[in-house]
A and B are shown apart, each in its own frame.
Chain A
Amino acid sequence: MAGFDLGFAEDETVRELSSSRKEPAWFLADRLVSLANFKALRVEEHQLFTKYTDISRARVGGTEPYIQPAGPAKNSEKDLAGVSGVYSQEEDSLETLWLDPELEKKGVVFETLQNAVSRHQQQLRTLTFDHASLPESDKFAQMTKALCMAGVVLHVPDNVSVSKPILIRWSIGRENAALLTRTVVSLGNNSSAVVVEEIEPSKAAGGERMALFGGTAEVMLGEGSVLKYNGVENVGGGVATFLNRQASVGAGSEIRWAFAYVGGEMTRSHIDSFLSGRGATVREVQVLYGGKSQFFDIFSHTRHVAEDTVSDLLSKGVLQDQSKAYVKGLITIEKSGKGSDSYLGEFGMVLSRDSRFLSIPSLEIENHAVRRAKHASSVTQVDENQIFYMTSRGIEESEARKLIVMGFLDPVVARIPLESVADRLRGLFESKWKA
């Protein structure tokens, strides 16, 4: 397994990033620890997956970081109906930062990480240190933590429900540019929110050399809260994307992850869910659609720490052309996770002989008193019996094929809690099919 070198990952860069953002000393210290971790860690530390990690497509060692912080938001976006808040960044420029004033009155915080670090220092420190700290054994989480150039913080206090989505958008892909970002979300007790994160091409996207995007989400849910976190990655061709999302879920709370991976040269996504309070739940759906020579490496690790916790995880991937996907999952039911219920499903549809699908749906069960621990995986293709059935009703063969492929993904897409996101995805998949 090849190593991963990032030219600008040096002390000097970290200090420059920190000082230009006027960060407090503890934040810089935290960055430096992460930098050391990043350098020391191997590309894959998890023994189960050392053979099944591939970052050779990420030719981003020479990318240049956006050192200077973004200025104040331009707030040029006009159509803000239908959302509760927007954070939109294009390359190194902050386009929009807006929160519904009604929510602001209720104590909802939605601002840049840079501001939050100075204004809510103590809370943020507690949050990112004690609760939702990114995995220390993950090289790329540590990379982003060490070198993050931008970030956004959302906090929803107790008993507040943010009904319309909070939109976070990263527009990226300028040739040879590196953008690393951190998103921190915390919900108190009995609150709810919906986050939609879009990672998409910027106006400057394209060029010969690759761009690097690193994004993390650190989520903490108190008790009895629900967060729906939806992410669509649809960046342009020459981008290597490294995503780490992590949640610590308190008693009776629920995190609903829904992610789609469509674009990019290579995308690596890790999700870590800690079900740390009794009755905590994670529901997760992931879909990917690979074409050309795209590579996707997605891994989801769910830990049932507390009793009566529930996980329901489903991934589906369609691969055409020379695309390749590693779909890895691990459910750990710890000794303390009595009464847990877990399901992990990983399903692939392979449309081309040149594509490759790997799935590793793993279980580690340390308590026999589980309600259910089950996983399933299959790899299928378009079935000729289905084709005959559909064509016999008058549908063209090519149309029948498309319907079957879309139908394969649809049960997952349909579980994405936002209809608008689901519809957009259907559109993306169809256009990919046509291409």
Chain B
Amino acid sequence: MRGRHRTTAKQIVDEDYSAYDFKDDIEYLYKTKKGLRESIVDEISKLKGEPEWMTRFRHRAYEHFVKRPLPTWGGDLSALDFENITYYAKPVERVGKSWEDVPEAIKKTFDRLGIPEAERKFLAGVGAQYESEVVYHSLRKELEEKGVIFMGTDSALKEYPEIFRKHFGTIVPPEDNKFAALNSAVWSGGSFVYIPEGVVVDQPLQAYFRINAENVGQFERTLIIAEPHSRVHYIEGCTAPVYASASLHAAVVEVIAKEGAHIRYTTLQNWSKDVYNLVTKRAHAHKDATVEWVDANTGSRLTMKYPSVYLMGPGARTDVLSVTFAGRGQHQDAGAKAIHLAPHTQSRIVSKSVSKDGGRTTYRGHLRVARGARNVVASVRCDALMLDAQSRSDTYPYIEIDEDDATVTHEATVGRIGDEQMFYLMSRGLTENEAVNMIVLGFLEMFTKELPMEYAVEFNRLIKLEMEGSVG
């Protein structure tokens, strides 16, 4: 009974991912040979017509990438073959300013993903990246007039060289880790966001990342700069079709919240289950600034991602909400880091994870109160829900305190759905499936309520589909 039920459910899930699982046969304008060597780094840089400092930056990164061993911790990277990946694939000549400028096949992709519709309804700006390049970018006119910049990172390097160079690579240096080095060597695309002093962007800016072809790596680079007392909410979503062999997504995200600025960064990561998602996300929060990471990972084969915040100025705050869902064959190794470097800073990390069908979730976090960071208040809460005996859940928190007046708490629980809870819901007439769904959605509620309504609906639908047949 159990087995049959699960097979059926698996089909439903697979069928449903079909909403994202379609591929376009498009002709790439340019594609590097598979594998990575120094000449490819040069090739990418030359093709983009970059200034010399960027070429040097890429080389410096490449050298580090070659030297740096793979991490021995985290997920299993043994099947990741750097030689079998295409590091750059160019689908279009230039970034479209309206959807009419985007080639029909690619536009269709984003239509099916509902991007233009969302843009019309409730977004302040949209960027869309397809393989290595940004294919579309728009920003509401009134924001443009206020000096807001929202464009592809490559365009920003050309159009705003000063702002760009001043901030790029300052938050995540290439030497930070192997995948940051890889990204820095071959980066292409990503979003560049600049919010001038005092400007409040009250509707979200959205970027959508799509990998289409097999074994193509995506290495976008996102840089967000919020000048003093400005405010922005940036949302990114990612999907890819299902292939037999792995693709690689290694992004670097740098976020700078200057004095009193407020940045929220929301990610809905739903890569297909053959993508290695190895991402470095880091923010600096200056005096009285707030940075919020809202980070959901339901897709990918392996995710290793620990959004971090360096609280650099007095009064800075951060809130990190991390949600992971690991099904069959998936390992979500996620978490957060809060590094308190200034007095009167606050951090709150909440992690919720669900594992089923042999999936594995890992919370890995680092909370550090450095010398000089007086009067810190920090809390971490991790809850893991395991739906069956095949699954696994780990919690690895590191808490390092170098001050004598910090208030730091950490709590974690791992558990399954309680029998009494099930009985209670079913006694009110719910089926077993409905009851489990309800409990899991309830478990994740504090995350969904942080999403704009349209995304919350989509996220809940996704979870429900992932949940199909988890009891039987």
List residues of chain A with CB under 8 Å of any chain B CB: 47-48, 52, 335, 338, 348, 350-353, 355-370, 372-381
Chain A hits for B434, CB < 8 A:
none
- Asked if residues A373 and B397 are in contact (CB atoms below 8 Å), the reply is no
Q: Considering the complex, give the chain A residue whose CB is closest to the CB of B398.
A: A360
**Could you show 7 A-B contacts with beta carbons less than 8 Å apart?**
A350-B406, A357-B400, A358-B399, A365-B384, A370-B415, A378-B408, A379-B407
Q: Which residues of A contact B406 (CB under 8 A)?
A: 350, 379, 381
Beyond A362-B394, A362-B395, A365-B384, is A381–B404 a contact (Cβ under 8 Å)? Answer: yes
Bits for B236-278, please: 1 = Cβ < 8 Å to A, else 0.
Answer: 0000000000000000000000000000000000000000000
Nearest CB in chain B to that of A335: its residue: B389
A357-B400, A362-B395 known; 4 new pairs, CB 8 Å cut-off, are: A356-B401, A361-B410, A363-B395, A374-B414
Please report the C-alpha to C-alpha distance between residue A375 and residue B399 in the assembled complex, in whole angstroms. 13
CA distance A370 to B384 in the complex (A): 12
B82 CB–A CB distance under 8 Å: no
Chain A residue nearest to B73 in the complex (CB): A47
Q: Is B178 at the interface (CB under 8 A from chain A)? A: no
Q: Are A373 and B399 within 8 A (Cβ)? A: no
Residues B411 and A376 in contact, CB atoms below 8 Å apart: yes
Sort chain B's interface into a size bin: 35 or more
Cα of A361 to Cα of B411 in the assembled complex, Å: 9
Contacts of A380 in B (CB 8 A): 407-408
Task: Please classify the interface of chain B as helix (H, G, I), strand (E, B), loop, or mixed, using the class held by over half of its residues.
Answer: strand
B412 contacts across to A, CB distance below 8 A: 361, 363, 374-376
Nearest residue (CB) in A for B392 is A366
Q: Is B388 an interface residue (CB 8 A)?
A: yes
Q: Is B285 an interface residue (CB 8 A)?
A: no
Q: What mask results when residues 49 to 85 of chain B are scored 1 for a CB within 8 Å of chain A, else 0?
A: 0000000000000000000000011000000000000
For A356, list chain B residues within 8 Å (CB).
Answer: 400-402
With A356-B402, A366-B392, A378-B408 as known contacts, state yes or no: A361 contacts B397, CB within 8 Å.
yes
Interface positions, chain B 400-425, Cβ under 8 Å from A, are: 400-416
- A-B pair number, CB within 8 angstroms: 108
Nearest B residue to A348, CB-CB: B401
- State how many angstroms separate the Cβ of A353 from the closest Cβ of chain B: 5
Query: CB of B230 within 8 A of chain A?
Result: no
Enumerate chain A residues within 8 angstroms of B392, measured Cβ to Cβ: 364-366
Q: Which residues of A contact B399 (CB under 8 A)?
A: 358-360, 377, 379
A364 to B386, CA, bound (A): 12
By the criterion CB–CB under 8 Å, are A360 and B416 in contact?
no
Cβ-defined contact, B393 with A365, below 8 A: yes
Residues of chain B within 8 A (CB-CB) of A377 are 397, 399, 408-411
Nearest chain A CB to B471 CB, angstrom units: 12
* B472 to A: closest C-beta gap in Å: 15
Question: Known: A338-B389, A350-B401, A362-B396. Contact between A374 and B413, CB under 8 A?
Answer: yes
CB-CB under 8 A for A368 and B403, given A362-B396, A375-B395, A378-B410: no
A288 to chain B, nearest CB (A): 15
A381 to chain B, nearest CB (A): 5
Write out the residue numbers on chain A whose beta carbons fall within 8 Å of the beta carbon of B394. 362-365
B184 within 8 A of A: no
B392 to chain A, nearest CB (A): 5
Point out residues on B near A: beta carbons under 8 Å: 72-73, 355, 371, 384, 386-389, 391-416
A353 contacts B404, CB within 8 Å? yes
**A362 engages B397 (CB within 8 Å):** yes
Is B404's CB under 8 angstroms from A367's CB? Answer: no
Chain B residues in 8 Å Cβ range of A363: 393-395, 412, 414
* Candidates A350, A368, A376; contact of B416 at CB < 8 Å: A368
| A373 & B389 in contact (Cβ 8 Å cutoff) | no
| Assembled-state Cα–Cα distance A377/B396 (Å) | 12
Q: Shortest CB–CB separation between residue A379 and chain B, in angstroms?
A: 4
Residues of B within 8 A of A357 (CB): 400-401
Tell me whether B404 and A372 are in contact (CB under 8 A). no
Task: Return chain A residues, CB-CB under 8 Å to B371.
Answer: 353
**Contact (Cβ within 8 A) B397 A360:** yes
Output the least CB separation between B178 and chain A (Å): 16
Given A47-B73, A362-B394, A377-B399: A369 touches B408 (CB 8 Å cut-off): no
A365 surroundings in chain B (CB, below 8 A): 384, 386, 392-394, 414
Q: Which residues of B contact A360 (CB under 8 A)?
A: 396-399
Inter-chain contact A370/B416, CB cutoff 8 Å = yes
Are B398 and A352 neighbours in the complex by a CB distance under 8 Å?
A: no
Q: How far is the CB of A19 from chain B (nearest CB, A)?
A: 41
Provide the bound-state CA to CA distance between A374 and B401, in Å: 22
Known: A368-B416, A377-B409. Contact between A352 and B404, CB under 8 A?
yes
Q: Are B389 and A369 in contact (CB under 8 A)?
A: yes
Take A350-B403, A353-B404 as given contacts and tell me if A358 and B398 are in contact as well, using a CB distance cutoff of 8 Å: yes
Residue numbers in B under 8 Å from A367 (CB-CB): 386, 389
CA–CA, A335 and B416, complex, Å: 14
Expressed in whole angstroms, the Cα–Cα distance for A378 and B412 within the complex equals 12
Write out the residue numbers on chain B whose beta carbons fall within 8 Å of the beta carbon of A378.
Answer: 408-410
Residue of B at shortest CB range from A356? B402
Contact present for A368 and B386 (CB under 8 Å): yes
Contact of B404 among A350, A366, A373 (CB under 8 A): A350
- Min CB distance B85 to A, Å, is 26
The CA of A353 and the CA of B414, in the complex, are separated in Å by 34
Chain B residue contacts of A352, Cβ below 8 A: 404
Q: By the criterion CB–CB under 8 Å, are A379 and B408 in contact?
A: yes
| B404 lies within 8 A of A370 (CB) | no
Verify B410–A370 contact, CB threshold 8 A: no
Residues of A within 8 A of B393 (CB): 363, 365
- In the complex, what's the smallest C-beta–C-beta distance from A243 to chain B, in angstroms? 23
CA distance A251 to B388 in the complex (A): 25
**In whole angstroms, what is the CA distance A419 to B80 when docked?**
58
Chain B positions within 8 Å of A355 at CB level: 404
Nearest chain A CB to B406 CB, angstrom units: 6
Contact B414 A370 (CB under 8 A): yes
In the bound complex, residues from chain B placing their C-beta under 8 Å from that of A374 are 411-414
> Chain B contacts of A370 at CB under 8 A?
414-416
A362 to B398, CA, bound (A): 9
Q: Which residues of A contact B73 (CB under 8 A)?
A: 47-48
Contacts of B397 in A (CB 8 A): 360-362, 377
Q: What 9 A-B pairs come out closest when comparing CB atoms?
A: A368-B386, A373-B414, A377-B410, A363-B395, A379-B408, A368-B416, A378-B409, A350-B404, A365-B414
Closest to B360 in A: A366
Question: Which residues on B sit within 8 Å (CB–CB) of A47?
Answer: 72-73
Residues of chain A lying within 8 A (CB to CB) of residue B409 = 376-378
Report the minimal beta-carbon distance from B358 to chain A, rounded to whole angstroms: 11
**Minimum Cβ distance to chain B for residue A382 (Å):** 9
A364 to B361, CA, bound (A): 10
- In Å, the complex CA distance between A361 and B386 comes to 19
